[in-house]
Amino acid sequence: MKNKKLLLGIVIGIIVLIIVIILFILLSRKTLTCTFKSDQSSNGYSISANYVVKAKYGIVQRVKINEVITSKDSKVLNKFEKQFNKQYSYNKKTYGGYKYKITNDTDKVTSNVTIDYNKLDMKQFIDNNAAMKEYTENNKLTLDGAKKMYEATGAVCK
């Protein structure tokens, strides 16, 4: 009888430990979603963007960005396409960690970007972009920092 109670206690203890570990893992991972919209019709275009930030223990691991520029003016779209390609190509070459695809359709340019902060040379990025210091700790972008950064551009984060 004592062996059964001891065995039952051990089994219950193991189950509780497993539940605690699972909860710790789940609670340590967070996702932040930010959206941005701007009607620039006086300039011939509108912008919408979606940022999905994945963090672990409060440190950003990955950001997926979807930006859409809508316009009836092909010159405006071509300008944005060129600028997106130039910026993301430079970032990929200079810092690493960037994957991107830019498409130019009939009335919109779309950029889909993934930034892997585990592969990004964050020290170099901060050295070249001093404002990033405000959003980082120990050369790591924090989840709170990412939220502040995107909200500073006018995005709404949840």
Tokens of 105: 């359709």
Tell me which DSSP letter residue 120 carries: S
CA distance 52 to 62: 8
The predicted pLDDT at position 1 comes to 67
pLDDT, mean over the chain: 93
CA distance 63 to 147: 12
What is the reported pTM?
0.84
Q: How many residues does the chain have?
A: 158
CA distance 113 to 138: 25
**Which 3-state string (H, E, C) describes 2-15?**
HHHHHHHHHHHHHH
Tokens of 64: 């997926």
Tokens of 151: 């909200």
Per-residue pLDDT of the chain (158 residues; tens, 9 = 90+): 677 778 777 878 788 777 776 666 656 789 999 999 999 999 999 999 999 999 999 999 999 999 999 999 999 999 999 999 999 999 999 999 999 999 999 899 999 999 999 999 999 999 999 999 999 999 999 999 999 999 999 999 99
Phi, psi of 13 (to 5 degrees): -60, -45
Domains of the chain in sequence order: 30-157 (3.30.1830.10)
- Give the closest residue to 80 by CA, choosing from 113, 63, 53, 103: 103
The predicted pLDDT at position 16 comes to 76
